[in-house]
Copies of this chain bind each other. A is one copy, B any other.
Amino acid sequence: MADLILTTFDWVPELPRGYVRDIRVRWALEEAGLPYRVESVPFRDRNGGHFARQPFGQVPWLTDGDMSIFESGAILLHLGNRSDALLPADPRARSEAIEWLFAALNSVEMASLPWSIFVFSGFNDDTPGWNRLDGFLGARLQHLEPVLAEREWLAGSFSVADILMADVLRLVDRFERLAGHPACRDYLARATSRPGFLKAHADQMAHFAAAD
């Protein structure tokens, strides 16, 4: 079997460290126990070779034999097809994990990411636009709360859906927006205390620290 290669930036500023999306892929690979190596591309000077692999100039991408895959959701789904530790084999449970994988990205992160851009840019002032964005995220958290209050993981057993949802919630929690949503906070604590996350996080921090 060909080596799996995870490509990320060679360096990033302090602020995004620990939150670069390669952590999602590292975490999944750790959970599955799949061996991989990490390669780097320049953060400051993104060239044509980079855009050929990731058309939006971002990271990560995964190389698996003759396949090169971008988008963290697509990569995790691909890895899920290689390991029962990431996606359950039972068709109904698998379908449930996949819908929650999409919900993490397209229902929750679609609200949380623009919200976080406003927060770390200092645009979280009392304007109608900010209030609408904050309300958009608040509504999603409000609906997620009862779901997470009654289950340990989103789709029966731990899956790639939990990796994505937890990583999405990490950025929300970083700016203290999970106050008032104890089930979301407990779920996040459960997910991020897993050895797979701890290893992935330490590895990402070490990777960027090595470039300083």
Q: List residues of A whose CB falls within 8 A of some B CB.
A: 51, 55-58, 66-67, 69-74, 77-78, 91-92, 95, 98-99, 101-103, 105-107, 109-111, 113-114, 117-118, 121, 123, 127-130, 132-133, 136, 139-140, 143-144, 147
A129 touches B132 (CB 8 A): no
B78 touches A95 (CB 8 A): yes
Residues of B within 8 A of A123 (CB): 127-129, 132
Closest to A108 in B: B56
Known A71-B106, A95-B78, A117-B132; judge A57-B143 contact (CB<8 A): yes
* Complex Cα spacing A128 to B122, Å: 9
Closest to A118 in B: B129
B107 touches A136 (CB 8 A): no
* Complex Cα spacing A128 to B124, Å: 11
B109 touches A136 (CB 8 A): no
Pick from B56, B98, B107, B117: contact of A77, CB below 8 A: B98
